[in-house]
Structure 1
Amino acid sequence: MVAFLGMGLLGANFVRAMIRKGVQVQVWNRTASKATALEADGAKAFAEVADAVRGADVIHIVVKDDAAVNEVLANASAGFKPGAIIIDHTTTSAEGAIQRTKDWKARGFTYLHAPVFMGPQNALESTGYMLVSGDQEVIKKLEPALSQMTGKVINFGAEEGRAAGMKLIGNLFLVSFTAGIADTLSLAKALNIPLGDISTLFDSWNPAAMLPARLKRVSSGQYDQPSWELNMARKDTGLFMEAAAKGGTHLAVIPAIAKEMDRWIEKGHGNDDWTVIGKDAVS
Structure 2
Amino acid sequence: MKAFLGMGLLGSNFVKAMLKKGEMVQVWNRTAARATALEAFGAKVFTDVADAVRGADVVHLVVKDDAAVEEVLEAASAGFEPGAVIIDHTTTTADGAVARTKYWKEKGFTYLHAPVFMGPANALESTGFMLVSGDQETVARLEPQLATMTGKVLNFGPEEGRAAAMKLLGNAFLVTLTAGLADTLSLAKAMDVPLDDLSTLFHSWNPGTMLHARMQRMSKGTYSDPSWELNMARKDTGLFIKAAQAAGAPLAVIPSIAAEMDKWIARGHGSDDWTVIGKDAVTL
User: Structure 1-normalised TM-score?
Assistant: 1.00
In the other structure, the counterpart of 2:110 is 110
Task: Write out per-residue CA displacement over residues 257-277 of structure 1, whole angstroms, 9 at most, x where no aligned residue.
Answer: 111111111111010000001
SS, match of residue 158 in structure 1? coil
SS, match of residue 149 in structure 1? coil
1:76, distance to aligned residue in structure 2 (A) = 0.2
Task: Write out per-residue CA displacement over residues 204-233 of structure 1, whole angstroms, 9 at most, x where no aligned residue.
Answer: 100000000000011110000000000100
* 1:230 and 2:230 correspond: yes
Q: How does 1:1-283 map to 2 (within 5 A)?
A: 1-283=1-283
Please tell me the residue identity of whatever aligns with 2:187: L
The answer to whether the 8 A contact 1:219-1:278 is kept is no
Please list every run of 5 or more consecutive structure 1 residues that lacks an aligned counterpart in the other structure: none
SS, match of residue 222 in structure 1? coil
Find the aligned partners of 1:117 and 1:221 in 2 and give their Cα distance: 29
Find the aligned partners of 1:109 and 1:255 in 2 and give their Cα distance: 50
Identical-pair percentage: 74
Q: How many residues align?
A: 283
The runs of at least 4 aligned residues of structure 1 exceeding 6 Å deviation read: none
Please list every run of 5 or more consecutive structure 2 residues that lacks an aligned counterpart in the other structure: none
Find the aligned partners of 2:178 and 2:23 in 1 and give their Cα distance: 37
Find the aligned partners of 1:238 and 1:52 in 2 and give their Cα distance: 58
Measured on the aligned residues, the alpha-carbon RMSD in Å equals 0.4
Find the aligned partners of 1:113 and 1:259 in 2 and give their Cα distance: 38
1:144, distance to aligned residue in structure 2 (A) = 0.4
SS, match of residue 37 in structure 2? helix
Find the aligned partners of 2:42 and 2:248 in 1 and give their Cα distance: 53
Find the aligned partners of 2:263 and 2:103 in 1 and give their Cα distance: 44
1:131, distance to aligned residue in structure 2 (A) = 0.2
Find the aligned partners of 1:12 and 1:256 in 2 and give their Cα distance: 39
SS, match of residue 268 in structure 2? coil
Task: Write out per-residue CA displacement over residues 159-196 of structure 1, whole angstroms, 9 at most, x where no aligned residue.
Answer: 00000000000000000001111000000000000000
1:247, distance to aligned residue in structure 2 (A) = 1.1
User: Structure 2-normalised TM-score?
Assistant: 0.99
Please tell me the residue identity of whatever aligns with 1:254: I
